[in-house]
Amino acid sequence: MPNTQAAALQPAGMKDSITKLEGGLVAKYGEPQRTRLHRGLLQVSEFWRAGDGDESAFQDFVRANFAGDQATLDTTFNRYEQLLEQLDGHMHEINREFRQQTDLDLGPILPFDEIFGGYDPSAHVIDDFFQNKLAFVVLLNFPLTTLDERLKDGATWSRRQWAEVRLAERFSKRIPAEVNLAISQAGAESEQYISDYNIWMYHLVDAQGRRLFPPKMRLLSHWNLRDEIKSDYADAQDGLAKQRAIQQVMERIVTQTIPQVVVNNPAVDWNPYTNEVKPAAAKDSDVTVATNLSNAPEPDTRYAKLLGDFLASKKADPYSPTAPTLIARRFDEDREIPEARVTAMLERVLTSPLVPQVAKLIQTRLGRPLEPFDVWYNGFRPGSKYTEAQLDEMVAKRYPTPEAYQKDIPNLLVKLGFSPERAQYVANHIVVDPARGSGHAMGAEMRAEKAHLRTRVEKSGMNYKGFNIAVHEMGHNVEQTFSLNEVDHTLLKGVPNTAFTEALAFVFQGHDLELLGLPAPDAKSQAEKTLNDFWGTYEIAGVALVDMAVWHWMYDHPQATPQQLNQATVQIAKDIWNRYYAPVFNRKDVVLLGVYSHMIDSFLYLPDYPIGHLIAHQIEEQMKKAGNLGAEFERMTKMGSVTPDLWMENATGKPVGPDALLEATQRALADARARQ
């Protein structure tokens, strides 16, 4: 709570108690303990409430729990580190098991499965730790720090000091359990909505009733729809028509003019241009539906879910004095990069003079003016000369089941540069599961547990889209394994923020074709990859700005309805498109930047992607210099969860920023022009 409210809830005489305790304990333990003791007393008093005990109880607690000598402080630190690892690990294990039915492709989801999936067994932990005073023991003995302090002083701290900082951060907010449960429930509901949002592509028809996509093709929004646009560049005959149709589908989703009946329904045909809906012919349908169909739009469900996320997360605001909005918590606490700096980095990419130069190159290669969906242009990738069908065939033969991918992980890691011993070590810490959605990685939280790789495998076997995602998620799992099992303090497990784990996963994903046995990239291919990285960063940077602006709008309009949020999001997407993309694509008021599913189910997650692209480029440049991806990957991930710049300076010698990508893009453009 804000400090004024917190003071009103404290027992009387707190200030006098602090003065009395400081004098008595300094006399007992010596003057060198004064600074640490004074800080601890203030930290405890900020969170202490009348319900925790009166003035006498506060004094008794402090006298009993202040670690006044180094040996006691060391014992306190070590005990907490060991026990919190066990607590985190087992809570995470329970949560994973409770979500099995909703996360994995294990058959129908019953109503109670969704309740299990939305339940967070750890929701009461922080509340309990304050009530039983375990949190106050930490606050009394270890330092709470500000982002400014971590950025300014972190480079001089020892690993133990960093671990102490991360320990104290766990108790920097006193959020009630019911608020955590509400946030978890809202997240589970939005995730479930997104995981079932499939479009049956065979049932898209044009004005002539022509079908562009093969039978049984089911694409999840937005991931598979976007990736289909990318793969269709290899289809000289129908690719352009397919891409235009998918763009129309995406726009219908964003504006919520998509007919509700066509979502995840293979029994109806739909013309996304006219919005006409008809029953599919019996020979084309897997299920039977009534012939009396309506093209009534989805009733702003997409934005109702997003609004639910906002309203749930907002309940935590009063209990987070140093970061009183989700926006602040995401940037100042989770990313530890100020929002203004993130915006500046993204705008440097979006306004770079390299953008129109790369766009001109793309237009030349396509032989036509750019269209909005070309924001996902895939022609720079070395693999674009292979058709989707060819890649699907390669993958399906290798991986007919999730178990086949599991068995091949050591071989894949060796191809990426890990020694056979380290590859097997990592593989032993990963379990592959069949995903219900597009796939994700779920790391372990204690060293006795394993990371889980969830990937989508159709009955006909894994396809290339599934493989590409699986390689990305495997990158997460390898990072999760090293940054938990090989870090010196489990309190420092992980990486600085989600953008880093995405960056490391991008490094893996960028080598997916090599893992299929296709030729390793030569100098030309490397230049093409850089152009691909730049264009991908340009695309996702705008998406991130939309996500950020939408959350600011919700905070400015907390009473908004789903319909109003729909209208606002559409306008924000248009405005950002018009500012950064319309001059390049010569088309205004496009809404495609609002299609990402993460906006709905991931609570302001999207900025991690462009930051991740910048970080990934810095990391891969370093790996190229070192000449060994596997060894460098392991070295970097052992740094753990320090601040982003400190991690990056240790990894590459420079702080996080777009310079490496922009410089490499300039060189790649010169190389591409020389080859023309």
Distance, in Å, from the CA atom of 491 to the CA atom of 484, rounded to the nearest integer, reads 9
CA distance 464 to 468: 6
Select, from the ranges 378-387, 560-569, 615-624, the one with the highest average predicted confidence (pLDDT).
560-569
Q: CA 475, CA 633: separation in Å to the nearest integer?
A: 10
Instruction: Tell me whether residue 451 is in a domain.
Output: yes
My answer on whether 170 and 55 are in the same domain is yes
Q: What is the pLDDT of residue 6?
A: 47
Q: Are residues 140 and 83 in the same domain?
A: yes
* Predicted pLDDT at 483: 96
pLDDT digits (tens, 9 = 90+) for 68-116: 999 999 999 999 999 999 999 999 999 888 988 888 888 888 889 888 8
Residue 529 domain-assigned (yes or no): yes
Q: Per-residue confidence at 290, pLDDT binned at 50, 70, 90?
A: low
Over residues 52-81, the mean pLDDT reads 96
Q: Given this model, what pLDDT does residue 10 score?
A: 65
Q: What is the pLDDT of residues 547-574, one digit of tens each?
A: 999 999 999 999 999 999 999 999 999 9
Of 136, 156, 186, the position where a domain reaches its end is 186
Which region among 20-34, 153-167, 481-495, 506-520 has the lowest average model confidence (pLDDT)? 506-520
Q: Answer whether residue 285 is part of any domain.
A: no
Beta-ladder partners of 277: 270
Half-sphere exposure of 423 (CA within 13 A, CB side): 17
Q: Contact 163/491 with Cβ under 8 angstroms?
A: yes
Name the percent of the chain lying above pLDDT 90: 75
Residue 347's region, left for phi above 0, alpha for psi from -120 to 50, else beta, is: alpha
**Residue 611: closest CA among 498, 530, 515:** 498
Burial 264-280 (b: 16+ CB within 10 A, else e): ebbbbbbbbeeeebebb
Considering the domain architecture, whether residues 545 and 670 belong to the same structural domain is answered as yes
Q: Which residue type is seen at 643?
A: T
Decide if 450 contacts 485 (C-beta within 8 A): no
Alpha-carbon 438 to chain mean position: 14
Reported as a single tens digit per residue, the pLDDT across 151-210 is 999 999 999 999 999 999 999 998 887 898 899 999 999 999 999 999 999 999 987 889
CB-based contact 660:654 (threshold 8 Å)? yes
Domain boundary among 162, 186, 210: 186
More confident residue, 207 or 145: 145
Residue 552 lies in a domain: yes
Whether 287 is in a domain gets the answer: no
Q: Is residue 215 part of a domain?
A: no
pLDDT(2) > 50: no
Burial status of residue 541 (CB atoms within 10 A of its CB: 0-12, 13-18, 19 or more): buried
- Is residue 365 in a domain? yes
Q: Is 441 helix (H, G, I), strand (E, B) or coil?
A: strand
Are residues 44 and 180 both part of a single domain? yes
Q: Are residues 437 and 466 in the same domain?
A: yes
Question: Is 60 exceeded by the pLDDT of residue 322?
Answer: yes
Q: Is the pLDDT of residue 279 over 90?
A: yes
Mean predicted confidence (pLDDT) in 460-482: 94
Same domain, 568 and 652: yes
What Rg do the C-alpha atoms of the chain give, in angstroms? 26
**Model pTM greater than 0.85?**
no
Domain residues for 606? Answer: 327-380+520-675
Domain co-membership, 347 together with 397: no
Q: In the predicted model, is pLDDT for residue 1 greater than 50?
A: no
Bridge-based pairing state of the strands 451-455 and 430-434: parallel
Q: Which region holds residue 336: left if phi is over 0, alpha if psi is between -120 and 50, else beta?
A: left
**Strand spans (E) along 111-267:** 198-200, 218-220
**Predicted pLDDT of residue 287:** 59
Dist. CA 571–CA 575, nearest whole Å: 6
Q: What pLDDT score was predicted for residue 446?
A: 95
Residue at a domain's end among 186, 211, 243: 186
Domain total in the chain: 3
**Across 600-620, average pLDDT:** 91
Question: Average pLDDT, whole number, for the chain?
Answer: 92
The yes-or-no verdict on residue 61 having pLDDT over 70 is: yes
In whole angstroms, give the CA distance from residue 215 to residue 508: 32
What is the per-residue pLDDT for 288?
Answer: 55
Give the C-alpha separation, 100 to 336, whole Å. Answer: 32
Mean of the pLDDT values across residues 483-488?
Answer: 96
State pLDDT tens for residues 631-655. 999 999 999 999 999 999 999 999 9
Question: Does residue 123 sit in the same domain as residue 145?
Answer: yes
Same domain as 504, residue 429: yes
Examine residue 608 and state whether it is found in any structural domain, yes or no: yes
Regarding whether 53 and 180 lie in a shared domain, the answer is yes
User: What is the pLDDT at residue 291?
Assistant: 56
Spatial distance between the Cα atoms of 324 and 257, rounded to a whole number of angstroms:
35
Phi, then psi, of 199 in degrees rounded to 5: -115, 125
Say whether both 427 and 567 belong to one domain. no
Based on the fold, state whether residues 400 and 345 are members of the same structural domain.
no
47-69: buried (b, 16+ CB within 10 Å) or exposed (e) per residue? Answer: bbeeebeebeebbebbeebbbbe
pLDDT class for 284, splitting at 50, 70, 90?
low
The mean-pLDDT minimum among 228-242, 383-397, 535-549 falls in 383-397
